[in-house]
Amino acid sequence: MADYVEITREMGTNHRDFLRLLPRSVPEATVEARGDEQNGAKVIIADAPLGRVEIDLSAVGERKIALIRLPVTHVTFRFYGLDEDTAKREYERMSKYFQRGGG
């Protein structure tokens, strides 16, 4: 059994925006990121309130809708030391910081 819970999602964001918003979701934690948008990146939050979180960001892709081009990044969250239900709740809490208004 793995010592982490992994959650993977496709997000409509690029690395710059993801990394700008991430600290708001874990305000008292230290966020370390290595990599770039062309090759992917690794983000480590060693001191999150509920424990260590590692995040893999894929290379930034693009979704085309008619003449509109939107960034797309596959994001994998790994929550260490949490049971699956707690990890899912923490992911849902964190993901709210990345939601954008529509209308």
In this prediction, residue 101 carries a pLDDT of 61
Q: Contact 22/31 with Cβ under 8 angstroms? A: yes
Q: Which amino acid is at 5?
A: V
In this prediction, residue 103 carries a pLDDT of 46
Q: What is the pLDDT along the chain (103 residues), one digit of tens a residue?
A: 569 999 999 999 999 999 999 999 998 899 999 999 999 999 999 898 899 999 999 999 999 999 999 999 999 999 999 999 999 999 999 999 988 765 4
* The model's pTM: 0.90
In this prediction, residue 27 carries a pLDDT of 87
In this prediction, residue 49 carries a pLDDT of 87
Plot region of 81 (φ>0 → left; ψ -120 to 50 → alpha; else → beta): left
Query: ∠ CA 35-40-44 to the nearest 5 degrees?
Result: 60
In this prediction, residue 102 carries a pLDDT of 53
- Taking alpha carbons only, the member of 58, 7, 56, 68 closest to residue 37 is 58
Q: Specify the CATH architecture of the domain 4-81.
A: 2-Layer Sandwich (3.30)
- Taking alpha carbons only, the member of 12, 32, 31, 40 closest to residue 98 is 12
In this prediction, residue 42 carries a pLDDT of 98
